[in-house]
Amino acid sequence: MPVHPIPPLFDENSEILILGSFPSVKSREEGFFYAHKQNRFWRVAAALFGCPVPITIDEKKEMILRHHFALWDVIHSCDITGSSDSSIRNVVPNDLSVILSAASIRKIAVNGQKAAQFYRKYQQNITGVPAIVLPSTSPANAAWSEARLIEAWRAALFD
């Protein structure tokens, strides 16, 4: 059973927490969020913030923290086949209090429907905060163009 290898990214100034479901194989290998080159997360985030797309892990961390965001995932460990969210079983959730007790989170958002499903099942009763459901930046969500993702994320996060 894979265990989440990536620590949460946040600081005391983080205001918006974005949660995925569980890191992809590529993200687990590289040790950082949204590492698969076809995942549009970093391009969408850069467009939202009006800055260049970060390349290195340090650049990605700096961009997220500079804009008062936080990143983590709903799931600490699970049985998963490859990177397929639909195959996830035997979920052990992450303890979000690590972030919520140390940062000024005012919004929690989830990247995609599966993350939303797991958040509602395992964490919403604990946090008491309904999550904003964002369309997934995964390449599996091919129905959404990058421009449409940017528009939807902007409307949801910066209302």
Note if 39 is an active site residue.
yes
Report the distance separating Cα 159 and Cα 155, nearest Å: 6
For 87-111, b/e burial (b = at least 16 CB within 10 A) is ebeebebbebeebbeebebebbbbb
Catalytic residue among 13, 39, 90, 94: 39
Distance CA 110, CA 75 (A): 12
75-79 and 89-93: which strand pairing?
antiparallel
Q: Which residues are catalytic?
A: 39
